[in-house]
Structure 1
């Protein structure tokens, strides 16, 4: 009786293939999660609602253009004046009738008085219309010796938006990496995974998958913001924030790889979700510092310059400086190179710590011990 020929075992996947498999698993797991889908949808709706609300409130605060009655002789006076809407009247009497009926705020009529060099008179009902007078006033050009180019309010809003977007995305997906790492370790699923892929491939897949999700969410927010600005007629702001937003997405892509490696390697030091607080606190501080730094020091050029070159805060500091026009063309390139080199170094050290700690259960692995073994 012949012995059946055993089937050859399938070849173990290579490092790149293993990393892509883990990344696909991370992406599909998150994409099928109702909490992730709902939170992303809510976030996009809030962004769009905020833009629409800003536009509506702005229009209401401006109150629209002020209606002013004009006759043929004075129509050209307010033809190009912002904030005034011309209402044609056949003659002076008809213009005055429009004012008396309160259909218009005022009327601009010709004046033949020799003492009036302007040649026009503003007719109103019971009080001088300050808005009309200010719109018609001729003011000389103003030269600013210290022209910062951006109002304090707009400076704060843009700084806040960049800071909060970085903070929320980094914390959300970084915490997801940490939680999944500990749960896999606590449930011993990691032992099954490591029987197929290497620890470095497992870590690389987690970083790659969550980076794709995080950058995708940031890109979706940017796309919704652009659509909202265009639909609400605020597309003039795109010229101001377009390039800084593109740089922010690029910086976030590289910066999140660095943070993801820190979240995963730190979480691999413990075996229970309850023990993640102490090991993740330093990493969370690195996420919070750029957010609070750009909020409290958005008007301090020295602090922003330092932030734009420190790897952990560059994804926020440099885009803000680019928006404010305070960075030269070469500065984001240099900062990105520094951030990329740091991300590669931190990921390499984090991978060695992860591979030495992820299979160890029981007591918490001390950081000094993990670093010593990773040396």
Structure 2
């Protein structure tokens, strides 16, 4: 068991006691090899994901195309090609047969496009599509960002929120029950008020969770710079900042409820019975934002629900679908919900912490 908190001197105020508990929570996690290893693995996975996504998004290797004087100008205007000009068809065929080029584009009077493509076995698909005659297309509602990039950003924010909230929420719950099982909690609350103990636990774990968010953000920035995705990096700046702000208050909300829910039981095996509803509230943002990331109406609704706002609002900001005032309004709603969750969690925590044995019913915990 971690070192107990010493009995405070009369001169200590509430804030110093809260910080004392927070330091105890932080120290116990930093001394845990499992926590440090899992954090390292998470950062490596994040870095690998950013690097792989960056390299995959880069333009493919240009196709080597042979042309004659009549077709050089046409082919040079196409994207992702390197042009090798030759004197005639015979020279072009030689390059194609020797696999010096992927294909050759030669003039033709028999084709509506005015050219013919020579290839040894298969012609480059991009070349065929670029030279094909297609009707003019007018998009009435153009997408504000690449669909795949939008999906990846939604997954990124969702995974970070899900993993951090569930990991640290479970940690808080296990810590509360462990202290009840070992009767250490009786010693702790004889030295400090119950609400101070709760506040210290929430603040300590919030600091650790935010530290992980900062490290993940740094990893993402490094990965985007290495892969040359400066445009994506510029677009992610404000959304990542808003995500950190929303995550901070969203985590405090969840941590308070996790602490109260865990205080209702006295055995580690029973934690799941009281924290499962909270786990569902953590899972919901991840699942819904991933499924409906391209649905403006659903995403707008999710960006105002406290449990999904930390993920939905940053995604909407990234794709440019949120007005400047929307994150501010959503944050006000989240702050109000956070205050309510703290009051409810503290009430349940105070009324259940010293009750051993059978699980405390929610109604009893709220009434005292």
User: Aligned equivalents of 1:116 and 1:185: distance in 2?
Assistant: 83
Q: For 2:191, what is the secondary structure of its paired residue?
A: coil
Aligned counterpart, 1:342: 337
Q: Which runs of 5+ in 2 are unaligned?
A: 1-7
Q: Could you tell me whether the CA contact under 8 Å between 1:13 and 1:197 is conserved in 2?
A: no
The C-alpha deviation readout for 1:267-314, integer Å capped at 9, x for no partner, is 112222122222212222221222222233333333222211111221
Q: CA RMSD in A?
A: 2.9
Give the TM-score normalised by structure 1: 0.85
- The aligned runs of 1:151-170 (5 Å cut-off) are 151-170=146-165
Instruction: Identify if the C-alpha distance between structure 1 residues 104 and 199 changes in structure 2 by more than 3 Å, giving closer, same or farther.
Output: same
Instruction: Identify if the C-alpha distance between structure 1 residues 68 and 10 changes in structure 2 by more than 3 Å, giving closer, same or farther.
Output: same
The C-alpha deviation readout for 1:308-357, integer Å capped at 9, x for no partner, is 11112211221222233222110010000110121122212322332232
1:222 aligns with 2:232: no
Q: Could you tell me whether the CA contact under 8 Å between 1:47 and 1:225 is conserved in 2?
A: yes
Instruction: Identify if the C-alpha distance between structure 1 residues 242 and 72 changes in structure 2 by more than 3 Å, giving closer, same or farther.
Output: farther
Q: How many equivalent residue pairs? A: 361
1:87 aligns with 2:84: yes
Aligned counterpart, 1:366: 361
- The aligned runs of 1:233-248 (5 Å cut-off) are 233-248=228-243
Instruction: Identify if the C-alpha distance between structure 1 residues 127 and 326 changes in structure 2 by more than 3 Å, giving closer, same or farther.
Output: closer
Q: Could you tell me whether the CA contact under 8 Å between 1:156 and 1:295 is conserved in 2?
A: yes
Q: Which runs of 5+ in 1 are unaligned?
A: 1-8
Give the TM-score normalised by structure 2: 0.86
Q: Could you tell me whether the CA contact under 8 Å between 1:84 and 1:135 is conserved in 2?
A: no
User: Aligned equivalents of 1:73 and 1:147: distance in 2?
Assistant: 36
User: Aligned equivalents of 1:328 and 1:168: distance in 2?
Assistant: 29
User: Aligned equivalents of 1:11 and 1:147: distance in 2?
Assistant: 66
User: Aligned equivalents of 2:236 and 2:187: distance in 1?
Assistant: 47
Q: Could you tell me whether the CA contact under 8 Å between 2:158 and 2:286 is conserved in 1?
A: yes
Aligned counterpart, 2:321: 326
1:172 aligns with 2:171: no
User: Aligned equivalents of 1:235 and 1:44: distance in 2?
Assistant: 21
Aligned counterpart, 1:45: 44
Q: Which residue, 263, 266, 269 being the options, matches 2:264?
A: 269
Q: How far apart are 1:175 and its partner, in Å?
A: 0.5
Which of the two has higher C-alpha Rg? 1
Aligned counterpart, 1:193: 188
User: Aligned equivalents of 2:18 and 2:107: distance in 1?
Assistant: 80
Instruction: Identify if the C-alpha distance between structure 1 residues 80 and 230 changes in structure 2 by more than 3 Å, giving closer, same or farther.
Output: farther
Q: How far apart are 1:74 and its partner, in Å?
A: 6.1
Q: For 1:311, what is the secondary structure of its paired residue?
A: coil
Aligned counterpart, 1:65: 62
Aligned counterpart, 2:294: 299
Aligned counterpart, 1:31: 30
Q: Which residue, 92, 96, 101 being the options, matches 1:99?
A: 96
Q: How far apart are 1:232 and its partner, in Å?
A: 2.2
Decide which moves more: 194-203 or 152-161: 152-161
Decide which moves more: 285-294 or 338-347: 285-294
Q: For 1:86, what is the secondary structure of its paired residue?
A: strand
The C-alpha deviation readout for 1:6-46, integer Å capped at 9, x for no partner, is xxx94342111111111111111111111111111111111
Q: Which residue, 203, 207, 221 being the options, matches 1:208?
A: 203
Q: For 2:66, what is the secondary structure of its paired residue?
A: strand
Q: Could you tell me whether the CA contact under 8 Å between 2:113 and 2:133 is conserved in 1?
A: no
